[in-house]
Structure 1
Amino acid sequence: MDDKTQKLSLRREVGLVGAVSLIGGTMIGSGIFMSPQTVLSTIGSPGASLVVWACCGLLVILASFCYAELGTVIRESGGEYIYILKTSGPVVAFLLIFSSVLFVRPASIAGIALSFAQYVVAPFYGDCPPPVLTVKCVAAAAILVLAIVNCLNVRFSMSVQVFFMTVKVLALVVIIIGGVVMLIRGNTGSFEDSFENTNLGINPIGIAFYQGLWSYDGWNNLNSATEELKRPEVSKRMEGFPLITALSC
């Protein structure tokens, strides 16, 4: 009899394009389209809001570089859970995954799904606000569809991820081009006294940073699928690329 024990492992079917799409697709979500107005209204001025966005992007880029190094050293899926398990023990790791599975991740997914549903049903109601029940039903349907897609096949889910990331990047490009056209036409009123009426209190600055960091959320998702990457050392080194792209946008 063969005494060798076989270790259960995941199929390495996620390539470089899929890895970049996983980060970019999760980062460029509903938050980037909804948070700017909250950041601007909270901090009080366009100049200060741009500073907040730049600081949030810098923090996320530095954190992603740390995660890229961790992903090449500890090549196991699980993200924060596996890192805390290796460094702080099973008790702290269990508390992290317990709170994440029951509270943090469901709340985040629900917020993203509701934002998506709000945009989807808005064209059908014109100037009237859509019914809350309709928004919730569309959000629930979106969560179920994406869960089924991710359960069916890794390659198919990566193809869906790449498609939606391309659509969202094109949407951002359209918004950026529209902003540049408006600036060329002379609509530069927001840059005159751009730091006027800035709220320097701890509360507005904290809320602005919270909204900005929430928009960048998703930069750490690739480390949860390290064992599914074809070449982790290459994909992890490219982890900062979509972050730099998102920051430049």
Structure 2
Amino acid sequence: MAGSSVTDETKQALSQYKYADIAKRDIMNAISQFKDLRPELERFYFGDGTKKNLLNLNGTIPVNYEGNEYNIPIIVWILDTHPYNSPMVYVKPSNNMYIKANRNVDSNGNVNIPYLRDWRYPQSDLLGLIQFLIKVFGEEPPLYSSSVASQQRHQVQSEHLSSVSDERPNISSFPVTGLAPLTTPGLEDIEKRLMRFLKLVRLSRDALQIFFDDIFPEHELQNMLADKKYLIVNGEKRVQKDQIPVLYPG
């Protein structure tokens, strides 16, 4: 639909409005000033589950933010009791945008501003509403592009890493002559280290065995066994259950 004209579909939809002439005039006045908005007839679903075919103004409005102009996509739903009941306004982020919730817009894109809360005809109309939206969106933009969001996250991460590095010594300033670079050991290296460890364990066990063999010669061991204080189970010396436990290396 052309931005500054009312089609037959719109005229037919307006015939279902209680104040069709006033609503038509209000719509024409708004789209004549903001030509990127176009009237459309679509089905609106209310919070209680009911649905109704309503007119809306769908498109973008120019918003100046920090010296740059941005086209903010919105949709203004016009009730069939317009202009005696306030419209419903939503921001409509595209695929490369996300909603920045603030005091004027919630996370679902629903716009809640004083102009809507204080709506009263004839002091309030669609043109005044759009002008108010441009003002508040210029103060607090409701949408950001994904590239801006990514840059902001990167900046926050960089600032965090910078603050952490400031609290730690700068290892790059330490002398590192003769030190090998730190690397993550591979599987083959890990296996070699494990084999060396097991070999050391076996050597330690053999050394302990020789040590205790020197303390308890074989004839003393045979005497202990003759007293039936010990049993040999799977080659290990163990105390009989009816004897007082005695620490003895196995």
Q: Same fold (TM over 0.5)?
A: no
Query: Which TM-score band (shorter chain)?
Result: under 0.3
With the length of structure 1 as denominator, give the TM-score of the two structures: 0.19
**Bigger helix share:** 1
**Which of these two proteins has the greater Rg computed from alpha carbons?**
2
**Bigger strand share:** 2
